[in-house]
Amino acid sequence: MRIVKLHNWPILMDDCCSLLNQEWPRSKTARIHSLSKSSDYFPMCLCLIDDGDNNSIIKLETNSNGDPLDKPIGQLIGHVKVSRGSLEGEAYIESLIICKSRRGQGLGSQFMVSIEQFIKSIGFTSITLHTIDASNFYSKLGYSLITTIEALGPASVNIIAGETKTQSKFNQNTNQLIVTNHQQGTSSKLSIDCPLPPPPPSNPITNRPVIKQEKIVMNKRLT
């Protein structure tokens, strides 16, 4: 097993994109755009590679050797993104993932321990992260809860749209436009002389379910 920097191994870009998109679907273009920002100066995307040596010690590759574009380097099984945090000495990690078929074997924990050693070795003194449902995983690794943030998912747009939503319908038999205000539960009729143009397509956002999420902020001091 080893950990490599994505920007040293661009050949991994597509696999990394698929791995992340299986868990957090996003357009490939947006995902590649975000991953391609990986650099030695942060944000830095680190990839866990199974190179088949059955060695359970996960090492961080310090520099790439050979031509990264030519050399097949093993199977990508994990990823994490490391950025600078907003506080002095603080690193921020996100998008930690282990591929589905390899979860529950201790790899996520080993990966995190190696990442922490690396982060500490380059001068950071703490790590902060947000999680929605993996707080138990992180608390087992020594992370403490800092605070929780209540956030609305995509459906918050739904609520906002619903507040102001009015709907117009033209009745061809009576030549009347019926305007319904869903918020107030009222409707009014307007008589008009000519038919209206067709309405615009309905907004798919309004069909999304309401999601209320609680984000948990956790932190660990690197001693």
Q: Which residues bind ligand COA (CB under 6 A)?
A: 23, 96-98, 103-109, 131, 133-134, 136-137, 140
For 169, residues 6+ apart whose C-beta sits below 8 A from its C-beta are 177, 178, 180
In whole angstroms, the minimum distance from the beta carbon of 194 to ligand COA comes to: 56
What is the smallest separation between the CB atom of 184 and ligand COA, expressed in angstroms? 42
What sign does the CA torsion over 214, 133, 135, 56 have?
Answer: negative
* Smallest separation (angstroms) from ligand COA to the CB of 152: 19
Nearest distance from C-beta of residue 98 to ligand COA, angstroms: 4
- CB nearer to ligand COA: pick between 98 and 155: 98
For ligand COA, give the closer residue by CB, 16 or 158. 16
Q: What does the block give as tokens for 179?
A: 């305007």
Nearer to ligand COA, 136 or 223 (CB): 136
Nearer to ligand COA, 103 or 212 (CB): 103
